[in-house]
Amino acid sequence: MKALFQYSRKKLIISTVLFLMTALFLIPIMTNSIKSVVQTGTTPDTSIGYNFKELAEMRDIYGREGARTYLYTRMTYDFIWPLMYLFFLVNVFSFFLYGLPLYDIKFLKGLPFLVFLLDLVENTFCSLYFFYGNRVIGLIATYSSRIKWYTLFFLLILFVLLAVYKIFRHMKRS
């Protein structure tokens, strides 16, 4: 775990390039594969803060064939995407924490992993909901999505605060 969070300029550059390539090429392919079957690009992953009613509407629009396509994208593309953004978040976080007293706080280092795990929970339960229509499964999907987004927003705010702190610290030394 320690080696994973050890700051490296090389890892930061590689993770950034992989993240951008995945975002620019893989996500449009994923969206188009669903859109070609259900005639809409709306998915739970592209809907920030969706509720159970919206998820149920997506399920109705998707139908059986759309649910199969959604499941395929979740188990292929959407397993690669969370790995890429996890690698990116860990390396960006390591960059911002490097040289700060916060560097060894395990809770902070666990945040990117929490976002990753919540994304996998959301994808799994959305897929199950699209096939079985069970309300409890759908609610787990919607709540895991919200917690994922809240955690990600908290992490992004933390990134901005750490960046501002590092800039001021650098200016103070100069």
Residues 59-111 have pLDDT tens digits of 888 888 878 877 777 777 777 888 899 999 999 888 888 777 765 666 777 88
Amino acid 143: pLDDT: 95
pLDDT band at 1 (very low <50, low <70, confident <90, very high): low
> HEC string of the chain?
CHHHHCCCHHHHHHHHHHHHHHHHHHHHHHHHHHHHHHCCCCCHHHCCCCCHHHHHHHHHHHHHHHHHHHHHHHHCHHHHHHHHHHHHHHHHHHHHHCCCHHHHCHHHHHHHHHHHHHHHHHHHHHHHHHHHCCHHHHHHHHHHHHHHHHHHHHHHHHHHHHHHHHHHHHHHHC
Range of the domain at 111: 2-173
Q: How many domains does the chain have?
A: 1
Please write the tens of the pLDDT for every residue from 131-170. Answer: 888 999 999 999 999 999 999 999 999 989 988 988 888 8
